[in-house]
Chain A
Amino acid sequence: MAGQEDEHDPILDDKKEAEAKSEVCVGGGERDMAPSTSGTSIHRSGSRPQLDLSKAEIQGNLEERDPTILLPNQSDDISHLALDIGGSLIKLLYFSRHEDYSNDGDKRKRTIKERLGITNGNLRSYPVLGGRLHFVKFETHKINECLDFIHSKQLHRRDPYPWSSKTLPLGTGVIKVTGGGAYKFADLFKERLGVSIEKEDEMHCLVSGANFLLKAIRHEAFTHMEGEKEFVQIDPNDLYPYLLVNVGSGVSIIKVDGEGKFERVSGTNVGGGTYWGLGRLLTKCKSFDELLELSQKGDNSAIDMLVGDIYGGMDYSKIGLSASTIASSFGKAISENKELDDYRPEDISLSLLRMISYNIGQISYLNALRFGLKRIFFGGFFIRGHAYTMDTISFAVHFWSKGEMQAMFLRHEGFLGALGAFMSYEKHGLDDLMSHQLVERFPMGAPYTGGNIHGPPLGDLNEKISWMEKFVRRGTEITAPVPMTPSKTTGLGGFEVPSSRGSALRSDASALNVGVLHFVPTLEVFPLLADPKTYEPNTIDLSDQGEREYWLKVLSEHLPDLVDTAVASEGGTEDAKRRGDAFARAFSAHLARLMEEPAAYGKLGLANLLELREECLREFQFVDAYRSIKQRENEASLAVLPDLLEELDSMSEEARLLTLIEGVLAANIFDWGSRACVDLYHKGTIIEIYRMSRNKMQRPWRVDDFDAFKERMLGSGGKQPHRHKRALLFVDNSGADVILGMLPLAREFLRRGTEVVLVANSLPALNDVTAMELPDIVAGAAKHCDILRRAAEMGGLLVDAMVNPGDGSKKDSTSAPLMVVENGCGSPCIDLRQVSSELAAAAKDADLVVLEGMGRALHTNFNAQFKCEALKLAMVKNQRLAEKLIKGNIYDCVCRYEPPSL
């Protein structure tokens, strides 16, 4: 590359320099020009000034956990980007790398990996890195905003391989672009950014984008009937063939038979361009969105000739036409002596919309029929998440196919082309991506603007907070939809929620929100799931309105306590208060958004909701809100552990087992996620509560399989059962829950020679114990107990304390190991389709899974079936859940033992 550059006409090069300089002025201002940094492998003549990229990257670089679509982060390590430049919108997709937080240098971790036999099972010839896919939209007529954005993030200077952080010299970059604008703006890109555009075939991009989404993203597709979205899980192995209908200016109908195997079988010239073109002429609307907006207030019967108009209000039932069926679009405009001005633009817009949507649905149906296809996916800018459009198309497909076919839509529909262009990079690193490796996150701006970008990219936390504050200040223009928080919470400065009705912040209620796709290659499907295909983590169906409203309210009511705790965890400083305030606003806005449009973020489950809260906290840099509470409770619990162990050791085997299970259930009362328990905390000390709780344990519990579990553990009729080889204990809360409940149970398994793996969260969530914290807790407990000490040594948990761990383990080689692995989540719930590779590896030899706590055993996984034995233990600390799930009451207990599922 450098060689080629040198051959260039020097005059031309001078011109480039000038351009580079002007870019700096436009783009950054504060960035300095500096001679080429010599540390890179780029060989260039020193006479040619270059942007000092490394410096630019460091500037304003606060450590940032979650870049957002809305407020893109300067500090992202961005790999590459692709664009789809359409007539009205530019869709931009870029990939940023994760900083690799898993630290393989950690001796403890390495020991566990060795123990579990984890090797780098990567078969690829190039490294796969985690990262995030960001989706951004710009209006085409504001292409300069898009160019500024690319420039500000230096997206165009990246080597187009995700694992390469190499920056490219100016003038050598190539960007993959699809859409009609690829040609039109090629010169502009060259001029402004010094990059060449490589034009990718539109249809090819569409198809590969759709294939990627349908395979890699769970619940990407949804149906839309009568205003209700329903997410559909498509089996990636049973995806083809399908019909892809792209409704842009015109309509392309494509039959897709496989990866790269597709054919444009049909199309129609009556498409989005017709709607917008005719609509503009007839209504004088200035924008497509304005026209769509109008249609929502329209009545098409004012201008369409309905069957009823012809048959004097009667149906033509003989051929199945109801009186409200449109017999002739715009047919009424014939017979009345009205001028264009006599019709309401709203009615015209709706008539047009119905005419075109219905026609597209019909022609698509006829083509699907022709090829025997049952699934039709609709995408393209005309759809734009617009509820009425989707309804009309769905209705047409449903009507004509007599319910045999389904019209489906894609959450990322606007980004099909851009995704496809992205995939057209030779090695984009996403080819074999599996849905379990993708996690979608919705940043703080999502409730306000969805995937749209407004304003300049924000660099740091402070700007994020100001952004939130600014919106709250503008609250007068914005009417709040549903008050989500009771008035008592206004102590934090008010939780006014921006609504969907204002002008500037209007978020079309039906708009599709697209989050940031986090690509975590280390995530795997939990191997012990009986049937991952049918596995559904969430127990409660939040698509039920009553449930949804209840849980949204619970979260809303819990918010003030959470904010207090979070602010206190950071020392209650002014900065912490400000962040707490912004967090409360942002999370309230999420809740309000979901209240209004439950499907805004895709299929909604309680697990997602709880995770959203944790993510939102992290976004405002509350790393661990319950840190001090957890520490305090751990200390208090460790202090009473020796007494408890002594008590246990004095019991018969049978009595001990029951006491242990009682202990787990009793200790599970310590849960800061439960409103009822938070109230309890104010009434007594941890130990008092624990004792009280245990004393109250009365069998039979509401769900009581203890006898079956006991028989499995102790045998019956003198028959000695085989011991479990390895038990995975999914632990819940810090403090008494893990120390007085789960550790003693772990100890029991260990003393029977069963290997124990404690499975804990990777990131903090409420007062849940994390995998990072567990080794210290175990070490604390091991001081009082030889069984735990030997096992912990075997499991490599006490390496720091040992002078020579290898010798130690030889001496006590009789003990089964106690290990700790992270589960890959940062939420109180666990979706077993996405767990850490460590956990997946640990699961391989396991024959027992113990799930403990509401989040992991009730809210999620209550109905999960495993290939091995499973024990689900929890105290129900919510009256409604108790009624719903076990027809019981608050503080009832669940002890569910299940043999392996076939």
Chain B
Amino acid sequence: MDSTQKISHLALDIGGTLIKLVYFSANGDYSEESRNGCSVVHGKLCFAKFETRKIDDCLEFIRFNILHHSGVQHPNGEALDKLYVKATGGGAFKFADLFKEKLGILFDKEDEMHSLVGGVNFLLKTVPREAFTYLDGQKEFVKIDHNDLYPYLLVNIGSGVSMIKVDGDGKYERISGTSLGGGTFLGLGKLLTKCKSFDELLELSHHGNNRVIDMLVGDIYGGTDYSKIGLSSTAIASSFGKAISDGKELEDYQPEDVARSLLRMISNNIGQIAYLNALRFGLKRIFFGGFFIRGLEYTMDTISVAVHFWSRGEAKAMFLRHEGFLGALGAFTSYNNQSHNDLKPHHHTVQRAILNCSGDNLRHIPVTSNLNDSETIECSINLV
């Protein structure tokens, strides 16, 4: 990291599996111009993530790369050692003491769901080419009309899955969810394949063939479709259903095939439940996010196919390029909200930066290659 960059802002989303960080990194020169009595800082929103079980790495990262650069102070003017940082996710509660002890950071806890929705709304409204569909290997960016954004269904696939109906800024409701999520994929996957990491498991699934272990419609009906009810012979009748009768042990199956079946089972299930919930509220757009997706083509494809299948093409699954950082982004943008409440004219500190969320000041770095988790968003902030 460029040592000249000044890191002034940080928000965390501490989930059951991963810790996601969003922080602002200034380009070096603090204020270029002054507008409305505010100085504007150009910089980047940076993204980082750590496995929750390796929280020490995260602490180190924050200590060296973030805190090092800024003697941050809370707007209330309390002592410097009382450093407040926006945090969301279940870990904001669980690890509050740890952060206080190790880094002297106090969590300003943001509601998880609220952060999530805030993050998505922010992305959809400010970052062009954020949403895309993925079907048959074709990624297609979708232009979202800001005036016709709501309502939509947000499906956040973390360890578990939350399904949120979003009706506007700060207007949302968690309408459903499922416990079959990313945690299930990784948890079961680890038990079944001895993979050590999520990425390894995903990689495995790329090379697998689910027909080895899934019971397909054709397996039941002797290779023929059950066309009467619209099931093709390759449709999965029962995930892992072939493991019943084969007389094979776990060791007899290729880990690749197991990972593939698992991925399909979970993706398909999420797609189906999401569709049913969208149907319930007449929502045409479903955005999928959360670390499980990870821009992984096969996952996105399975979810898209499930939504497409169940909705008979009526509903579309859409994905977000920053899907892994929705909560963290939401927490980050919530500094903004708070500032309005706390705004005190004479309280000017360099440290107290407010991200200007009007799209004008925000520019996305176009990417040509694969999506990258650490992809940054170029933006500017107003310093009050």
Chain A contact residues, CB within 8 Å of chain B: 87-88, 180, 183, 201, 203, 248-250, 252, 264, 266, 268-274, 276-278, 280-282, 284, 303-305, 307, 309-312, 314, 316, 318-319, 326-336, 339-340, 343, 348, 355, 358-359, 362-363, 366-367, 369-370, 400
Name the residue of chain A whose CB is nearest to the CB of B279: A370
User: In the complex where A268-B272, A277-B241 touch, is A334 in contact with B186 (Cβ < 8 A)?
Assistant: yes
Interface residues of B in 179-196 (CB under 8 A from A): 179-184, 186-188, 190-192, 194
- Across-interface contacts of A311 in B (CB, < 8 A): 90, 93-94
**Interface-facing stretch out of B25-33, B37-45, B232-240, B346-354:** B232-240
- Across-interface contacts of A271 in B (CB, < 8 A): 238-239, 241
- Please state if A269 and B237 are interface contacts (CB–CB under 8 Å): yes
- Across-interface contacts of B238 in A (CB, < 8 A): 248-250, 269, 271-274, 277
- Across-interface contacts of B187 in A (CB, < 8 A): 303, 305, 328-334
- Please state if B190 and A358 are interface contacts (CB–CB under 8 Å): no
- Please state if B237 and A249 are interface contacts (CB–CB under 8 Å): yes
Q: How far is the CB of A358 from chain B (nearest CB, A)?
A: 7
Given contact pairs A269-B214, A270-B180, A331-B179, a sample of 16 additional A-B residue pairs in the complex whose CB atoms are under 8 Å apart? A266-B272, A274-B265, A277-B213, A277-B239, A305-B159, A310-B159, A327-B16, A327-B183, A328-B158, A329-B183, A333-B187, A339-B191, A343-B191, A355-B179, A355-B184, A366-B276
Name the residue of chain B whose CB is nearest to the CB of A280: B243
User: In the complex where A328-B182, A366-B277 touch, is A281 in contact with B250 (Cβ < 8 A)?
Assistant: yes
Chain B contact residues, CB within 8 Å of chain A: 15-17, 51-53, 89-91, 93-94, 111-113, 158-160, 174, 176, 178-184, 186-188, 190-192, 194, 213-215, 220-222, 228-230, 235-245, 249-250, 253, 258, 265, 268-269, 272-273, 276-277, 279-280, 310
- Choose from A284, A312, A326 the contact partner of B249 (Cβ within 8 Å): A284
Give 15 A-B contacts (CB < 8 Å), ordered by A residue.
A180-B220, A252-B229, A271-B241, A273-B239, A276-B244, A311-B93, A312-B90, A312-B93, A327-B179, A328-B16, A340-B194, A359-B178, A366-B280, A367-B276, A370-B276
- Please state if A330 and B184 are interface contacts (CB–CB under 8 Å): yes
Please report the C-alpha to C-alpha distance between residue A632 and residue B241 in the assembled complex, in whole angstroms.
68
- Choose from B16, B240, B249, B277 the contact partner of A278 (Cβ within 8 Å): B240
- Please state if A333 and B159 are interface contacts (CB–CB under 8 Å): no
- Choose from A88, A269, A333 the contact partner of B236 (Cβ within 8 Å): A269
- Please state if B184 and A340 are interface contacts (CB–CB under 8 Å): no
| Pairs A-B, 6 closest by C-beta atoms | A310-B90, A331-B183, A328-B183, A273-B241, A273-B238, A330-B187
- Across-interface contacts of A264 in B (CB, < 8 A): 229-230
- Please state if A331 and B243 are interface contacts (CB–CB under 8 Å): no
- Please state if A280 and B159 are interface contacts (CB–CB under 8 Å): no
- Please state if A334 and B159 are interface contacts (CB–CB under 8 Å): yes
Please report the C-alpha to C-alpha distance between residue A747 and residue B187 in the assembled complex, in whole angstroms.
82
- Choose from A201, A269, A304, A363 the contact partner of B273 (Cβ within 8 Å): A363
Q: How far is the CB of B197 from chain A (nearest CB, A)?
A: 10
- Please state if B180 and A355 are interface contacts (CB–CB under 8 Å): yes
Q: How far is the CB of B137 from chain A (nearest CB, A)?
A: 22
- Across-interface contacts of A310 in B (CB, < 8 A): 15-16, 89-91, 94, 159
- Please state if A359 and B244 are interface contacts (CB–CB under 8 Å): no
Q: How far is the CB of A531 from chain B (nearest CB, A)?
A: 39
Name the residue of chain B whose CB is nearest to the CB of A327: B160
Please report the C-alpha to C-alpha distance between residue A340 and residue B93 in the assembled complex, in whole angstroms.
30
Q: How many A-B residue pairs have CB under 8 A?
A: 211
- Across-interface contacts of A273 in B (CB, < 8 A): 215, 237-241, 244
Please report the C-alpha to C-alpha distance between residue A249 and residue B244 in the assembled complex, in whole angstroms.
9
Please report the C-alpha to C-alpha distance between residue A457 and residue B18 in the assembled complex, in whole angstroms.
61
- Across-interface contacts of A307 in B (CB, < 8 A): 90
- Please state if A304 and B242 are interface contacts (CB–CB under 8 Å): no
- Choose from A280, A282, A318, A332 the contact partner of B244 (Cβ within 8 Å): A280
- Please state if B228 and A282 are interface contacts (CB–CB under 8 Å): no
Please report the C-alpha to C-alpha distance between residue A8 and residue B258 in the assembled complex, in whole angstroms.
52
- Across-interface contacts of A329 in B (CB, < 8 A): 179-181, 183-184, 187-188
- Please state if B191 and A87 are interface contacts (CB–CB under 8 Å): no
Max count, chain B CB within 10 A of own CB: residue among A284, A311, A400: A311
Please report the C-alpha to C-alpha distance between residue A307 and residue B93 in the assembled complex, in whole angstroms.
12
Please report the C-alpha to C-alpha distance between residue A284 and residue B272 in the assembled complex, in whole angstroms.
30
- Across-interface contacts of A280 in B (CB, < 8 A): 243-244
- Choose from A272, A319, A326, A333 the contact partner of B179 (Cβ within 8 Å): A326
- Please state if B240 and A277 are interface contacts (CB–CB under 8 Å): yes
- Please state if B249 and A328 are interface contacts (CB–CB under 8 Å): no
Please report the C-alpha to C-alpha distance between residue A226 and residue B39 in the assembled complex, in whole angstroms.
62
- Across-interface contacts of B241 in A (CB, < 8 A): 249-250, 269, 271, 273-274, 277
- Please state if A330 and B183 are interface contacts (CB–CB under 8 Å): yes
Q: How far is the CB of B113 from chain A (nearest CB, A)?
A: 7
Q: How far is the CB of B182 from chain A (nearest CB, A)?
A: 7
- Choose from A282, A333, A400 the contact partner of B176 (Cβ within 8 Å): A400
- Across-interface contacts of B229 in A (CB, < 8 A): 203, 252, 264
Please report the C-alpha to C-alpha distance between residue A311 and residue B88 in the assembled complex, in whole angstroms.
11
Name the residue of chain B whose CB is nearest to the CB of A341: B191
- Choose from A180, A319, A358 the contact partner of B174 (Cβ within 8 Å): A319
Q: How far is the CB of B253 from chain A (nearest CB, A)?
A: 7
Please report the C-alpha to C-alpha distance between residue A340 and residue B194 in the assembled complex, in whole angstroms.
8
Name the residue of chain A whose CB is nearest to the CB of B236: A269
- Across-interface contacts of B237 in A (CB, < 8 A): 249-250, 269, 273
Name the residue of chain B whose CB is nearest to the CB of A278: B240
- Across-interface contacts of B250 in A (CB, < 8 A): 281-282, 340
Max count, chain B CB within 10 A of own CB: residue among A183, A269, A319, A326: A269
- Across-interface contacts of B91 in A (CB, < 8 A): 310
Please report the C-alpha to C-alpha distance between residue A331 and residue B190 in the assembled complex, in whole angstroms.
10
Q: How far is the CB of A180 from chain B (nearest CB, A)?
A: 5
Please report the C-alpha to C-alpha distance between residue A358 and residue B176 in the assembled complex, in whole angstroms.
13
Name the residue of chain A whose CB is nearest to the CB of B173: A319
- Please state if A269 and B265 are interface contacts (CB–CB under 8 Å): yes
Name the residue of chain B whose CB is nearest to the CB of A180: B220
- Please state if A281 and B240 are interface contacts (CB–CB under 8 Å): yes
Please report the C-alpha to C-alpha distance between residue A400 and residue B237 in the assembled complex, in whole angstroms.
25
- Please state if B265 and A270 are interface contacts (CB–CB under 8 Å): yes
User: In the complex where A269-B268, A310-B91, A335-B53 touch, is A277 in contact with B182 (Cβ < 8 A)?
Assistant: no
- Choose from B160, B213, B236 the contact partner of A305 (Cβ within 8 Å): B160
- Across-interface contacts of B213 in A (CB, < 8 A): 277
User: In the complex where A203-B229, A310-B91 touch, is A334 in contact with B183 (Cβ < 8 A)?
Assistant: yes
- Across-interface contacts of B214 in A (CB, < 8 A): 269
User: In the complex where A305-B159, A370-B280 touch, is A281 in contact with B243 (Cβ < 8 A)?
Assistant: yes
Q: How far is the CB of A261 from chain B (nearest CB, A)?
A: 15
- Choose from A249, A312, A327, A366 the contact partner of B94 (Cβ within 8 Å): A312
- Across-interface contacts of A327 in B (CB, < 8 A): 16, 90, 159-160, 179, 183
Q: How far is the CB of A359 from chain B (nearest CB, A)?
A: 6
- Please state if B249 and A340 are interface contacts (CB–CB under 8 Å): no
- Please state if B191 and A282 are interface contacts (CB–CB under 8 Å): yes
Q: How far is the CB of A880 from chain B (nearest CB, A)?
A: 48
Name the residue of chain B whose CB is nearest to the CB of A356: B180
- Across-interface contacts of A355 in B (CB, < 8 A): 179-180, 184
- Choose from B179, B194, B258, B310 the contact partner of A304 (Cβ within 8 Å): B179
User: In the complex where A250-B237, A273-B215, A328-B183 touch, is A314 in contact with B276 (Cβ < 8 A)?
Assistant: no
Q: How far is the CB of B346 from chain A (nearest CB, A)?
A: 36
Name the residue of chain B whose CB is nearest to the CB of A311: B90
User: In the complex where A180-B220, A280-B243, A327-B159 touch, is A305 in contact with B183 (Cβ < 8 A)?
Assistant: yes
Q: How far is the CB of A127 from chain B (nearest CB, A)?
A: 36
